[in-house]
């Protein structure tokens, strides 16, 4: 009895030690994530002259020049925000529909060609035609240059990894007997997909929805390649162009004294951080509301099916 009690005590101590160690590791990981955000916000509130000596968590000289500079362009930024929200919403909804519709037949054991389509999907995850070929196809064949489709189509809509996650979720968490019961009740494939599979897949749909939304929200390369009209800039593209303009003015030698004085007062480092803060606000605001479903979908969707 004493040996059993001693073993239980050792086991409890071992588990307690593991919990403490895990807690310390999680705190360190949290700090690694939070500290850069705090530093970024601090730098955005610092004067440009004080940043010459390096970044500080507490600014040596407080300044709102970066935010004042961005506020002066609020109309353009608001338009870019609106376009970004539109692209993100439409792209995310389309991505959820296409991904789940592709994953559904791949999860059906009675769909005989599913291995062929799974191989094709996996092949696209490993190989592609490259940027030059993609650009030629999208601009010459589909004519998406300077249109909103340039943000939605190239590199978006459906990702192979997301399809795999949804397929694994369907296989692991929705019993095939439910599908058979639906077939016995006279339900067709579309009814089974829309009335059974999708409603029972909230966690994984939330997960891939977040992945798609972040991809569309943070995408600036499509705008750089395919968009030349400033009225079609999303927030990421506009902020990238804005930072390029600031950097150009900072590094260009001009003889006019007034212009040179304006150059010195232009926020560069602080503006970069203020731009990053503006782009992060929607993500930071939405994430806490979907965190639970996101974690659940990642854990369950990653199970091999």
The β-bridge partners of 46 are 62
6 lies in a domain? no
- The 10s digit of each residue's pLDDT in 209-257 is 888 888 898 888 898 889 988 889 988 888 888 777 777 766 666 555 4
Is pLDDT at 159 greater than 90 in this prediction? no
Distance in angstroms (rounded) separating the CA atoms of residues 131 and 187: 44
* Residue 62 phi, psi (nearest 5): -75, 145
Cα distances from 96 to residues 50, 65, 286, in angstroms, run 47, 41, 18
225 lies in a domain? yes
- The 10s digit of each residue's pLDDT in 11-35 is 566 677 778 888 889 899 988 888 8
Distance in angstroms (rounded) separating the CA atoms of residues 81 and 234: 6
Is pLDDT at 129 greater than 90 in this prediction? no
SS (H, E, C) the chain: CHHHHHHHHHHHHHHHHHHHHHHHHHHHHHHHHHHHHHHHHHHHCECCHHHHHCCCCCCCCECCHHHHHHHCCHHHHHHHHHHHHHHHHHHHHHHHHHHHHHHHHHHCCCCCCHHHHHHHHHHHHHCCCCHHHHHHHHHHHCCCCCCCHHHHCCCCCCCHHHHHHHHHHHHHHCCHHHHHHHHHCCCCHHHHHHHHHCHHHHHHHHHHHHHHHHHHHHCCHHHHHHCCCHHHCCHHHHHHHHHHHHHHHHHCCCCCHHHHHHHHHCCCHHHHHHHHHHHHHHHHHHHHHHHHHHHHHHHHHCCCC
Q: Which pLDDT score is estimated for 304?
A: 46
Is pLDDT at 269 greater than 80 in this prediction? no
80 lies in a domain? yes
Give the CATH number for residue 270: 1.10.3720.10
Q: Which pLDDT score is estimated for 305?
A: 44
54 lies in a domain? no
33 lies in a domain? no
Name the pTM for this structure: 0.77
Q: Measure the CA dihedral 242/67/63/257, to 10°.
A: 40
Q: Is residue 186 packed enough to be buried (19+ CB in 10 Å), middle (13-18) or exposed (0-12)?
A: exposed
44 lies in a domain? no
76 lies in a domain? yes
Domain count along the chain: 1
Q: Which pLDDT score is estimated for 47?
A: 82
Q: Note down the domain range covering 108.
A: 68-301
Q: Which pLDDT score is estimated for 254?
A: 57
2 lies in a domain? no
């Amino acid at each position: 009895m004493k040996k059993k009690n001693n073993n239980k005590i050792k086991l409890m101590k071992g588990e307690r030690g593991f919990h403490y160690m895990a807690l310390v590791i999680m705190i360190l990981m949290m700090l690694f994530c939070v500290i850069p955000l705090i530093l970024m916000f601090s730098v955005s509130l610092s004067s440009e002259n004080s940043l010459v000596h390096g970044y500080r968590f507490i600014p040596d000289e407080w300044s709102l020049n970066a935010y004042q500079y961005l506020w002066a362009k609020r109309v353009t930024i608001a338009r870019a925000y609106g376009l970004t929200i539109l692209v993100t919403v439409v792209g995310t909804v389309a991505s959820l529909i296409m991904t789940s519709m592709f994953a559904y037949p791949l999860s059906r054991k009675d769909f005989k060609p599913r291995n062929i389509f799974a191989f094709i999907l996996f092949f696209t995850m490993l190989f592609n035609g490259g940027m030059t070929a993609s650009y030629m196809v999208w601009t010459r064949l589909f004519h998406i240059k300077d249109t909103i489709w340039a943000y939605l189509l190239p590199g978006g809509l459906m990702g192979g990894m997301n399809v795999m996650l949804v397929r694994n979720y369907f296989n692991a968490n929705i019993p095939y007997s439910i599908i058979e019961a639906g077939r016995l009740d006279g339900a067709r494939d579309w009814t089974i997909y829309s009335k059974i599979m999708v409603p029972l897949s909230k966690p994984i749909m939330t997960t891939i929805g977040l992945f798609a939304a972040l991809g569309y929200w943070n995408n600036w390369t499509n705008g750089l390649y395919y968009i030349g009209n400033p009225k079609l800039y999303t927030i990421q593209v506009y902020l990238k162009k804005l930072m390029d303009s600031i950097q150009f003015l900072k590094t260009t030698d001009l003889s006019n004294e007034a212009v040179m004085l304006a150059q010195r007062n232009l926020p560069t480092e602080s503006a970069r951080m203020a731009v990053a803060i503006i782009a992060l606000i929607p993500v930071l605001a939405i994430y806490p509301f979907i965190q639970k479903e996101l974690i659940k979908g990642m854990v369950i969707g990653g199970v091999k099916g």
